[in-house]
Chain A
Amino acid sequence: DAGITQSPRYKITETGRQVTLMCHQTWSHSYMFWYRQDLGHGLRLIYYSAAADITDKGEVPDGYVVSRSKTENFPLTLESATRSQTSVYFCAAALGGQNFETQYFGPGTRLLVL
C-alpha cells in the first residue's frame, strides 16, 4: 500500500518557468492538500480539495494553480516560478469529516528556483 506518492522528489528550475508537482493517492480519500514548508513558517496551506472538481484556496495560494479531475490525483502548478517559491512541498490526503480528519502526508518535493 503506497499511500501518497509525490513526484518529482527533487526539482531545480529557473525563474519564469512553469513547474508541475504531482501528487497521487492509492486510497480514495475525499480531501487532498498542498502545503509548503519553510524555515520559521511551519506548514502553510496553499490549496486544498474536498472532492474531485472542488478546490479552494488556502493561506498562500498566489502563484499556484491546482486541478483535481480525478479523486486520486492533485497536481500543483507553479505558473511562473519565482525564487520565493523555493521550498519543500508536501501533499496530504484525509478522509474528511469530524472523525476522519487525520491527514496522511507524502514524502515531499524539494524545489529550488534559481
Chain B
Amino acid sequence: AQSVAQPEDQVNVAEGNPLTVKCTYSVSGNPYLFWYVQYPNRGLQFLLKYITGDNLVKGSYGFEAEFNKSQTSFHLKKPSALVSDSALYFCAVRDEYTNAGKSTFGDGTTLTVKP
C-alpha cells in the first residue's frame, strides 16, 4: 500500500526568502517520489523525482528536494523564492511493488510568494 501526505494546505513566504513545501509518504517497499507544480488553469508540470541515488535531488526552476528515508519525507525546497513560484504543488509517490505509473498524489499545497 502507498500513501502520501502534504500536511500544509497553504504556505506563505516573502520573495527572496527560502521556501519549504512538506511531503511525507508511506510505502511497503522502496519509494519513487515526485514533485509537480500546477499554475492557474494549467495542467501539472514535472519538477523533479527521486528514484535512487543521491538523497538531494535538483530539478527545474531552481527547486530541489531531499529524500529522508528515516523520516519518510521528501520536502521541496528553494533557497530564494520568486513571486512567479506562486502555484499549487503536488507530491506523488509510487511503491516499488505497485504497478509502474500508478502513483498516488497528495492533496496539494498552495504556495504564495509575496513581494
A interface residues (Cβ-Cβ under 8 A, vs B): 4, 31, 33, 35, 40-45, 48, 50, 56, 58-59, 90, 92, 94, 96-99, 101-108
B46–A48 contact, CB under 8 A? Answer: no
A106 to B105, CA, bound (A): 16
Q: Chain A residues with Cβ under 8 A from B106's Cβ?
A: 42
B interface residues (Cβ-Cβ under 8 A, vs A): 32, 34, 36, 41-46, 49, 51, 90, 94, 99-108
A108–B101 contact, CB under 8 A? Answer: no
The total number of A-B Cβ pairs within 8 Å is: 67
B101–A96 contact, CB under 8 A? Answer: yes
A50 to B105, CA, bound (A): 19
Q: Chain B residues with Cβ under 8 A from A56's Cβ?
A: 99, 102
Known: A56-B99, A99-B51, A102-B34. A41 touches B46 (CB 8 A): no
